[in-house]
């Protein structure tokens, strides 16, 4: 019985050495990620906001900068020393009320119990010297949040700051998700 175990160990060792010496194209670990053309220094100006919602462009810009700082694939620098430019724009933002409720409300009144946020953004990589677009892609995101609710019978209004706060929190979360995806797609297979 003992010689069979030794034989299996020897066969495994031989197989492992044969694979290493054969020059197989297998790589262990995560592949190296780079930007197109191998750029290492980029600048990311504030995103353009094509929507009616003010101030959301900073959430997207900061989210993308954070992704590059975290990954260290490229260094975010000043425009004077950068090799490439990563431009972004928020193309669309929609709020859609959903799940209308008429329960315990006066005749003809409707109360939305949730809202959906739909967003589209575009990210482009441009060579700084001549502003030729090397890569461009659109990203979309969707989130749902609970609308402010009237709970007491005597109340006929809700706090509008809750709705604004809920919108902003969800937009920031969407910015993080969408820019993480943008970073990953921008740096894959180059």
Residue ranges of E strands in 50-169: 75-76, 84-101, 111-127, 133-146
pLDDT in tens, 159-179: 667 778 888 999 999 999 999
SS3 3: helix
Answer yes or no: is pLDDT of 24 > 60.
no
**Per-residue pLDDT tens digits for 107-155:** 766 566 788 999 999 999 999 999 999 999 999 999 988 877 655 554 4
Residues β-bridged to residue 153? none
Helix (H) or strand (E) segment spanning residue 161: helix 160-186
The pLDDT, as a whole number, for residue 4 is: 53
CATH superfamily of 29-186: Lipoprotein like domain (3.30.160.150)
Gap between the Cα atoms of 119 and 174, Å rounded:
8
The answer to whether 92 touches 114, Cβ cutoff 8 Å, is: no
Q: According to the model, what pLDDT value does residue 104 have?
A: 67
C-alpha radius of gyration, the chain, whole number: 26
pLDDT given at position 2: 52
Q: Which residue has the higher pLDDT, 12 or 88?
A: 88
């Amino acid at each position: 019985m003992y010689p069979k175990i030794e034989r299996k160990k020897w066969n495994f060792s031989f197989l492992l050495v044969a694979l290493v010496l054969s020059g197989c194209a297998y790589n262990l670990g995560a592949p190296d990620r780079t930007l197109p053309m191998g750029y290492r220094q980029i600048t990311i100006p504030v995103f353009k906001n094509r929507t009616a919602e003010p101030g959301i462009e900073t959430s997207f810009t900061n989210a993308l900068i954070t992704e590059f700082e975290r990954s260290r694939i490229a260094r975010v620098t000043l425009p004077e020393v950068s090799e490439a430019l990563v431009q972004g724009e928020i193309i669309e933002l929609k709020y859609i009320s959903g799940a209308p409720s008429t329960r315990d409300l006066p005749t003809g009144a409707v109360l939305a119990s949730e809202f959906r946020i739909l967003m589209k953004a575009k990210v482009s990589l441009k060579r700084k010297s001549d502003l030729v677009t090397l890569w461009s892609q659109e990203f979309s995101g969707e989130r749902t949040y609970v609308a402010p609710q009237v709970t007491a019978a005597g109340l006929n209004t809700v706090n509008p700051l809750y709705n604004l706060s809920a919108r902003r929190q969800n937009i920031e979360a969407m910015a993080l998700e969408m820019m993480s995806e943008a970073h990953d797609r921008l740096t894959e297979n180059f």
